[in-house]
Structures are given as C-alpha cells and as structure tokens.
Chain A
C-alpha cells in the first residue's frame, strides 16, 4: 500500500469512522470501501474535499441475487477508490450523486437502464442506452432477465418531443443531427434547438448500436471474451484487449513476462498513432479542409501496414492474450518500422507547422468549443479532451501498465481548452508515441512473450485501466471461479466525454457543432458497447 492509499483511507476513517463496513486493497492503487446505502454520498464528499481534481470513472452494477451492488469508482491521485454499497432488488433506490459530481449523469442513467436502479433526485430520468420501446420492467444486465421473444413484449412509443420540428412558437428551430447525418459517421442523435445560427440547447441521445457486449461477455469464456471486447471498437481494439487481459491477469495474480509488456506497449502506441491520425483527418473533413483529410489518411496507411507486419492484422490486432501476447516480433522487421516512423515524424512536424500557421484552420478551431479546466474537472472528461483543458491526466503516468513505467515520455497538455488545443494535443502525442515505440524497440527485453495460464480463473475481482487513444478506458471484471466471468464492466472514454459536448456546443454557432464535436474524438460504437 502506498502513501496515497494510506492518506485516503485515513481521511475516510476519520470522517466516517464506524460507518465503513469493510476495506479491501486487493491490487496496488486500488481501494475498495464498503458502506451502507446513503453513506456513499458522505464518502464521496470526503474524497472530493481531499482532491479537487477527483472525478468519477464509472458506476458498476453487479447483480448479487438478493441485492444489487453498486460500485462508484472514483479516481483520485492516480488511485481508484471504489465505494461499494448495496440496494435491495425489489425496491432498488439510492440517492443520486449528480449534485456532487455532475459528470456522473450518464453513468447513473446507464445503471438505471440496465439494472433498474432508480437514482433519487436525478434531473431527467429518460432512456439513455435502451430504446424507447424496450419493455418497462426488463433490465438486461440482471441475471434473471429473460431476453427471449423480445418482439412480443415491446412497448408502444410515440414521436418524442425533441423530434418535432419547431418549438417555442416558431422562433427556435429543432435541428436533429443524427442518427444519420453526414457529419457523424456513427449513429447517435443530438437534438439541437437553434435560433438562426446560434445553438440554444443540445440534447444527446446514444444507444443506437447498443449490442449488449457486457451481457454477452458473461456467456463466453475468458479466452473468447478477448475477441469479443476487441470488437467493441475497431479503432482502439488493441487497448480493449490489453485492458481486459491485464484485468484478468490481476485476478489470477499472474504477470505478463517483460518482453510481452514491451510488445504490448508497441502495439498500443501504434494503435494510438493510427487513431489520432484518423481523427485529425476527420477533423479536417469536418471543417471543410479536404486536402488535409486526404493527406492525413494517406500518411496513416504505413501505420496500418506496420500493424499488419507486427500482428498479422491491419485493424483488429488480436495481439494481447491473457498471460502475454500471441505473436513475437521478428528482429528483421524492426529496422523497417523505424525507418517508417522516422518519415512519419518528419511529416508530423510539417502538420504541426500547418496547424500553427494556416489562417483558415485557426479561424475554425481557435476559441471554438472552449471547455475550461474547472468545467473539465466537473464533467470528469478524460484523455486528450482533459489534457486540452490543462488537466494533467494520463493513465500511462498515473498508474503505469505494460512497460510505461520504464519508458520516458511526457504528458502533453495545452491550456486553451478549445478545439485547436484538443487537436494539437493529439498531434504532439503522435510524435511522443513515435519516441515511445522507438525506445521500446531499442530496449526490447529477451525472453518468452507469453506464459500459459489456466482456463479457469479463481474467484475474485479486479479493475483495469488503460490510456486508450480517446482517454481512460476502464474495465471491471468479477470472476466466480469458473471459466466464465460473472460480470464484465466496460466504461469507454467517449462515454465520459460526451457530456462535455453539451457544454461546449450550447451558445455556439451551428457551424461550430461538427468542428467542436469532432475534437472530442467521439466513438459511438465504444460508447454503446
């Protein structure tokens, strides 16, 4: 146990004393504190008072049979403090925490949809993940949910208010962006109320491609789950697989061999470069800069080729596995990769110059969609969005996984908080990632690249975090001692970031909506899982 954890526990026991029922520290930098329902708000308050940059990572629900367990995962000083509490199954009610942490809104709504837990005092109890016609009393992630013959049980729905075109007697026009819209490649809906060209109100609605990955994971073995979670997101697939594997490794108490850690690092960073370049090109398209888009995507191709060279696949890497990685790198491939990376680095400095100088690019992104530091912390945003608002937060530094504790790199932050800053963070991170890969390839330890692990995972639970290209990716896995997991919780970075879009779009120009939206790097197949 480190000092940070000790400090947190001391503060908690000073304030709450007898109210703490149980304390566990199964993993380094992870603290589990069990309290009664109702006390969870006091515990949260203690944590928030202690660290103003504390934020919520996720709320996990677990069906225990008689009761439903709720876990509030709070990140503070690079540690995850989990406050766990239980509510009864029949009358699943608990006080909302959105007044303490506004960023918890979506997390609570998700639990309401999937577990039927009602959060008292919650601002707008609407469907978020499930469709409007989903049966009222069917909560898919409860263990007894019967999801057969669903067509017969569906509810009747009428047109939603926000789908009607004019409102407020005609001065405001409702513009619906999505589920199909040329600016958004993935299905999600934002109902905008616009007054001329000014956006007055934004209502997000996600869940159009909710596939129930968390439920499906319970029906598959751990090995099968690796390939399932990879398919949550095509772009950051390596991160999902690595995060799942290291979480399961934590339950088993095994550690991947050093070579595997470095190999994972290389693939994760390649994944980051390719994701960032994809986004930057896309940003160019959104602000009508097609040439930039074409150039960026052209230069992204070598990265995909590198992925293929190293992992055998261009997109879905299928690289990490429990206990290591599935393939080794051949030594003769490494010089080829280093040459490509050197070329890419040169190009990146050109693009950075472009972003610094081009007048139209700056006009469209500077002072657009400003999210200041206070709001960023309030809304618990993660990844490049947070770093663009001067929040120094990076799981690679906060809680080093893979080989990041041995590789020197710096966290890129910008303090403007606008679209430009968020895109610049990504441009700089690509250069930083290239250095990380070069370092990892130079210092590749020898030895085996995987260890064999049993198929059956001992009972237990673990949390895992990975800095995906879009920010902190969070996994919670609970094992019941069989080959099938009891619960797999995935919280993707976009799920945490999407709330900030409402903040930055309101009051802005309608032409800025795509420009500021794309700077968040939203990924809705991640978000909907």
Chain B
C-alpha cells in the first residue's frame, strides 16, 4: 500500500507532475519579471494554474500525424521521453529517501545520467521521424549538441561523486554535511552552465531556435503528443535542477524542526530546486542564443578541459575537504 502510494501520489508521479507545473509557472514568472513583463496572471491565483491550463488545452486539440510519417517512433517518442525523465526522477531522494524505497544502488548516478542520454535520443528520433526539414535540422542539432555537453556533464557529476566517495546519488546527497557547493563552487558553476546545454536553454537553446527552424524537432507535433513533448521538456528541467540539488546542495537534507522529517526534507527539496531553477532562468534571460558551431567550440574547447581541470583541482584539495564529508 505504501509502495503504491509512494509511486503514484507522493513523492511519486502526482507530486512530480504538480511540482513540474509549479516550476514551469515559477520559471515563467521569473522570466517575465526579468523582462519587465508580468507573466501569467489569469488562471488561478497569480496565474499559478497556467501551465496546467496549457497542458489540458493541448490535450484537447486535434492530433495530426503527417501522412508520410509512418514511423512508430513518431507516435511513441513523446510519451517515451516523458516516462524516461519521470523514471529517472524516481532514483533521486525527494522526501529523504527514493520514491521506490531501497531502490538506490551503487552506481545509480551513472544510471540516471544514462537515462537522460536515452531520453534525449528519443527527442532526436521524434524530430528525425517527422520527415520535415525543420525537424530534421532540429533533430541533428539535438544530437550535435549532445555530443558536446555529455562528457563535461558526466565529469562534473563525478567530481561530487569523488568527494563523497560513492556513486550512489542518495549517498552523495546524504554525505554532504557541508553542501558541496561551498567546497567545490567551481564545479557547481560549471555544472550549471553545462546543464543549460542539457536543458536546451539560452545560450544553448539551439535545437529549437524558433527564428531559424520554427519549432525544431517539435514542428510536426500537435495535440496530445505535443502536450507530452512539452511536459517532457518541463520534467527534464526539473530533473536537471534536482540533479544539481542532489550533487551540490546536499539533496533534500537540511535542519529538521518539529514534526515529520519527511515534511522538512520535502520543503528543503522544493526550496533548493526553485533556487536552481531561478539561477538557470537568470542565465536564460541574460544571454543570446549561440550558433551550433559556437556551442560545440565552447563545449569542446572550454568545458571539457575545464571539467578535467575541476576534477584535478578537487582531487588536489580533497585531502583538506574530506574531514567535512561524512
């Protein structure tokens, strides 16, 4: 019973969905305020229900599949990438333990990062199977960009793992008596930048540069498939933020006061994720979109050497930092 409750309601599926939509709203509000606009206001108090309204609206729209798209991939890529992102979230401690209790294992960090790669590959396939030039270019851009940021993302993630001396996300999060962001701020800053590329946000939102290639790989999608594709993107943003929280901000753990620890852990978790979302949204607002070749140059010439350098620096200072780690 607890198991079903945990998977379906809290902190599983329903919680993740609602939290995703809440994060989407926060993002839109932050972006709007940064750009001197007001953002959503109409649906619900301060427009908080806007992402939900958008999702429901898309679900109700006609779902058009282009006639020369025979591929099964086109039909299932949105729902698959969405479920993979949600599945990846199940391995991250939200209220103090994983969604499925005792599911964490040595190496689930690698597993989660691999899941993200797979989900990204589905996004690529969704565009590639659309047989539309805009989608095709958008899809190749997803892959090209992926080639650039994947390696640095792994190495930055490993920096934390090295410090915690463990490859399991929940252990890494739990071992941060002092959040790693204070111990290795360089890795934190660079990880966030790399994450911008992973989340396809400015300055790296090349795959769906709407002024160049319409909606990129999403161009041919409509109706409920588009709804799930959009939702998958939103979950991906939350997932990215959660990974940062787990690796650098000591996960959901924080001071516990009265009552259930689970309540406080969830609260810390939400606040920390919102903090990361705020940072990424800030970066999105202050940068222009780069070109795909510039993205690759930045990734290969700057981020990869920097990631290795950051790992080396961490190894060098690990001796003094280790007493601070449980």
**CB within 8 Å of B: which residues of A?**
165, 173-175, 181-183, 197, 284-292, 294-295, 298, 358, 360-361, 363-364, 509-514
Interface set, chain B 258-293, CB cutoff 8 A to A: 285-293
A339 to chain B, nearest CB (A): 20
Residue B150 lies at the interface, judged by CB distance under 8 Å to chain A: no
Chain B residues in 8 Å Cβ range of A197:
137, 292-293
Chain A residues in 8 Å Cβ range of B202:
288-290
In the assembled complex, the Cα of A197 lies from the Cα of B306 at a distance in Å of 28
Chain A residues in 8 Å Cβ range of B114:
none
Closest chain B residue, CB of each to CB of A175: B133
In the assembled complex, the Cα of A361 lies from the Cα of B213 at a distance in Å of 20
Chain A residues in 8 Å Cβ range of B206:
511
B53 to chain A, nearest CB (A): 22
B290 in contact with A364 (CB, 8 Å): yes
**Pairs of residues from A and B, 8 with the lowest C-beta to C-beta distance, nearest first:** A288-B289, A289-B288, A294-B35, A183-B211, A360-B288, A511-B291, A514-B211, A360-B287
In the assembled complex, the Cα of A181 lies from the Cα of B37 at a distance in Å of 25
Q: Could you say which of B35, B133, B205 contacts A173, with CB atoms under 8 Å apart?
A: B133
Closest chain B residue, CB of each to CB of A363: B294
Subset of 30 A-B contacts with CB under 8 Å: A181-B214, A182-B211, A197-B137, A197-B292, A197-B293, A284-B288, A285-B211, A288-B202, A288-B205, A288-B209, A290-B35, A292-B288, A294-B36, A294-B37, A358-B288, A360-B203, A360-B287, A363-B290, A363-B291, A364-B289, A364-B290, A364-B291, A509-B292, A510-B137, A510-B212, A511-B206, A511-B209, A511-B212, A513-B212, A514-B211
In the assembled complex, the Cα of A174 lies from the Cα of B133 at a distance in Å of 8
Residue B34 lies at the interface, judged by CB distance under 8 Å to chain A: yes
Contact with A along B219-239 (1 / 0, CB 8 A): 000000000000000000000
A512 in contact with B291 (CB, 8 Å): yes
Residue B210 lies at the interface, judged by CB distance under 8 Å to chain A: yes
Question: Which of A173, A174, A363, A364 has the most C-beta atoms of chain B within 10 angstroms of its own C-beta?
Answer: A363
Closest chain A residue, CB of each to CB of B131: A165
A188 to chain B, nearest CB (A): 15
In the assembled complex, the Cα of A265 lies from the Cα of B174 at a distance in Å of 70
Apart from A288-B205, A360-B288, what are 13 other A-B pairs with CB-CB below 8 Å?
Answer: A173-B136, A175-B133, A183-B210, A288-B202, A288-B203, A288-B288, A290-B31, A290-B35, A291-B34, A358-B288, A360-B203, A360-B290, A509-B291
Chain A residues in 8 Å Cβ range of B36:
294-295, 298
A62 to chain B, nearest CB (A): 41
In the assembled complex, the Cα of A358 lies from the Cα of B205 at a distance in Å of 18
B210 in contact with A182 (CB, 8 Å): yes
Q: Could you say which of A165, A290, A291, A364 contacts B133, with CB atoms under 8 Å apart?
A: A165
Closest chain A residue, CB of each to CB of B294: A363
In the assembled complex, the Cα of A291 lies from the Cα of B293 at a distance in Å of 23
In the assembled complex, the Cα of A175 lies from the Cα of B219 at a distance in Å of 14
Chain B residues in 8 Å Cβ range of A284:
288
CB within 8 Å for A295 and B35 given contacts A173-B133, A289-B289, A360-B287:
yes
Closest chain A residue, CB of each to CB of B205: A288
Q: Could you say which of B136, B137, B214, B292 contacts A182, with CB atoms under 8 Å apart?
A: B214
Interface residues on B, range: 20 to 34
Q: Could you say which of A174, A290, A363, A511 contacts B285, with CB atoms under 8 Å apart?
A: A290
CB within 8 Å for A286 and B211 given contacts A364-B291, A510-B137, A511-B206:
yes
Chain B residues in 8 Å Cβ range of A286:
211
Closest chain A residue, CB of each to CB of B32: A294
CB within 8 Å for A287 and B288 given contacts A182-B214, A294-B35, A363-B294:
yes
A288 in contact with B285 (CB, 8 Å): no
In the assembled complex, the Cα of A514 lies from the Cα of B211 at a distance in Å of 7
In the assembled complex, the Cα of A364 lies from the Cα of B137 at a distance in Å of 19
In the assembled complex, the Cα of A197 lies from the Cα of B209 at a distance in Å of 13
Closest chain B residue, CB of each to CB of A290: B35
Chain A residues in 8 Å Cβ range of B292:
197, 509, 511
B208 to chain A, nearest CB (A): 10
Chain B residues in 8 Å Cβ range of A173:
133, 136
Chain A residues in 8 Å Cβ range of B288:
284, 287-289, 292, 358, 360-361, 363-364
Chain A residues in 8 Å Cβ range of B214:
181-182
In the assembled complex, the Cα of A460 lies from the Cα of B293 at a distance in Å of 58
B287 in contact with A289 (CB, 8 Å): yes
A81 to chain B, nearest CB (A): 41
In the assembled complex, the Cα of A183 lies from the Cα of B36 at a distance in Å of 23
In the assembled complex, the Cα of A363 lies from the Cα of B292 at a distance in Å of 12
Chain B residues in 8 Å Cβ range of A174:
133
Closest chain B residue, CB of each to CB of A361: B288
Closest chain B residue, CB of each to CB of A513: B212
In the assembled complex, the Cα of A286 lies from the Cα of B291 at a distance in Å of 12
In the assembled complex, the Cα of A174 lies from the Cα of B292 at a distance in Å of 20
In the assembled complex, the Cα of A360 lies from the Cα of B289 at a distance in Å of 7
Closest chain A residue, CB of each to CB of B210: A182
A26 to chain B, nearest CB (A): 47
Chain A residues in 8 Å Cβ range of B136:
173
In the assembled complex, the Cα of A288 lies from the Cα of B292 at a distance in Å of 13
A415 to chain B, nearest CB (A): 24
In the assembled complex, the Cα of A284 lies from the Cα of B202 at a distance in Å of 13
In the assembled complex, the Cα of A13 lies from the Cα of B15 at a distance in Å of 87
B35 in contact with A288 (CB, 8 Å): no
In the assembled complex, the Cα of A165 lies from the Cα of B131 at a distance in Å of 11
Chain B residues in 8 Å Cβ range of A509:
291-293
Chain A residues in 8 Å Cβ range of B137:
175, 197, 510
A287 in contact with B37 (CB, 8 Å): no
Closest chain A residue, CB of each to CB of B141: A197
In the assembled complex, the Cα of A377 lies from the Cα of B126 at a distance in Å of 47
B276 to chain A, nearest CB (A): 20
B217 to chain A, nearest CB (A): 15
B286 in contact with A291 (CB, 8 Å): yes
Chain A residues in 8 Å Cβ range of B291:
363-364, 509, 511-512
CB within 8 Å for A288 and B211 given contacts A295-B35, A511-B292:
yes
A413 to chain B, nearest CB (A): 25
Closest chain A residue, CB of each to CB of B291: A511
